Amino acid sequence: MSSAEKNTRTRILDAAWTLLETNLGEPVRMSDIAREAGISRQALYLHFPTRAELLVETTLHIDEVKNMESRLTPSRSARSGEERLTAFVDAWGNYIPEIHGVGRALMAMQETDAEARSAWQGRMEAVRHGCAAVVRDLSRDGGLKPELDEGRATDLLWTLLSVRNWEHLVRDCGWSQTAYLETMQALARAALVKTAATD
């Protein structure tokens, strides 16, 4: 609990995150993390009971995840509900590639999955709340499609954001992140907004 303890711990987490982000494809070993953190492999177990827990902690520790809610809060400049929707989808589209390593970390633990998932469920709830807030604004503005209630609209948006194949599209289909963002925007507007604006 001393500051030294805390420093070593965070040094480990930072090291793990660096490797998850960088060494794309290669599995991240405990010995790798130890070397990156500048300590011995066994010392890792003084701070984390198992590799899986270390990786979960890593994903929860990085700034991008800790600041998830603020990252996904659209700028104050968005006045109308539709603008707010656009800003929200944009924020999400820019956010996803930044936390690429998180997916790898979660993937690295098939059977500890349940544990990792429950740790992540709360975070994801925050995103869903964001969807609900955006839909509420859109509804207040009268911009929401008349045939949708807010719950259904929230579901649609939430589902849309769960398109996880960004990587696939970019890698295998030659998409750019811009194309991805535009597609998200087009889908979101088409699904939710009464009079969808054309490009």
Binding positions for DNA, rule: CB under 7 A: 1-2, 4-5, 8, 29-31, 38-43, 45-47, 49-52
- Compute the least distance from the CB of residue 168 to its own copies, in Å: 7
CB contact at 8 A, 162 and 131 = no
CB contact at 8 A, 97 and 164 = no
CA atoms within 13 A on the CB side of 157: 33
Question: Interface residues for its own copies in 14-53 (CB under 8 A)?
Answer: 25-27
In degrees to the nearest 10, what's the CA dihedral of 188, 127, 21, 118?
-130
CB contact at 8 A, 87 and 75 = yes
Q: Which structure tokens are listed for 176?
A: 């750019």
Question: Interface residues for its own copies in 153-172 (CB under 8 A)?
Answer: 155-156, 159-160, 162-165, 168-169, 172
Please identify, using beta-carbon distances, which residue of 73 and 112 lies nearer to its own copies. 112
Please tell me whether residue 177 binds its own copies under the rule CB under 8 A: no
Segment lying near its own copies (by CB under 8 A), choices 54-62, 90-98, 108-116, 136-144: 108-116
Lay out the site mask for its own copies across 109-148 (x = CB under 8 A, - = otherwise).
Answer: -xx-xx--x---x--x--------------------x-x-
Please identify, using beta-carbon distances, which residue of 77 and 172 lies nearer to its own copies. 172
Q: Which structure tokens are listed for 63?
A: 């700034």
- Compute the least distance from the CB of residue 54 to its own copies, in Å: 17
Residue 17, amino acid: W
- Compute the least distance from the CB of residue 25 to its own copies, in Å: 5
The SS3 assignment for 108 reads coil
- Counting every residue, how long is the chain? 199
The C-alpha atoms of residue 11 and residue 58 are separated, in whole angstroms, by: 11
Residue 52 interacting partner from DNA, its own copies, none (CB closer than 5 to 8 Å by kind): DNA
Task: Find residue 193's DSSP bridge partners.
Answer: 144
* Interacting residue ranges for its own copies, rule: CB under 8 A: 25-27, 104, 107-108, 110-111, 113-114, 117, 121, 124, 145, 147, 152, 155-156, 159-160, 162-165, 168-169, 172, 179, 183, 186-187, 190-192, 198-199
